[in-house]
Amino acid sequence: MTSRTSPPRFSWWTRHQRQLAPWLFLTPALLMFGIYVIAPIFESIAISFYDWDGLGEATYIGVANYVELYSDPDFRTALKNNLIWLVLFLLSVPIGLGLALLLNQTVAGIRFVKSMFFFPFVISQVVIGLVFTWFYNPTNGLFTQILAALGMPGVAVLSDEHLVTYGIIAAGLYPQIAYCMILYLTGLNNVRPDLIEAARLEGAKGWSMLWHVVLPQLRPATFIAVVVTIIGSLRSFDMVSIMTSGGPYGSSRVLAYYMYEQALSEYGYRMGYGTAIATVLFSIMLVYITFVLWRIYQQEKELA
Give the tens place of pLDDT for each residue, 131-168. 999 999 988 889 989 988 888 888 889 998 999 999 99
pLDDT in tens, 3-25: 565 555 667 667 777 788 888 89
| Residue 83: pLDDT over 80 | yes
Choice between 38 and 269, residue whose per-residue pLDDT is larger = 38
pLDDT tops 60 at residue 54: yes
* % the chain with pLDDT above 70: 94
Q: What is the pLDDT of residue 48?
A: 92
* pTM of the entire predicted model: 0.84
Task: Please tell me the distance from the alpha carbon of residue 125 to that of residue 239, in angstroms, as a whole number.
Answer: 7
Q: Distance between CA 160 and CA 167 in Å, rounded?
A: 10
Q: 104-108, 200-204, 218-222: which has the highest mean pLDDT? A: 218-222
265-303 in b/e form (b: 16+ CB < 10 A) is: eeebbbbbbbbbbbbbbbebeeeeeeebeeeeeeeeeee
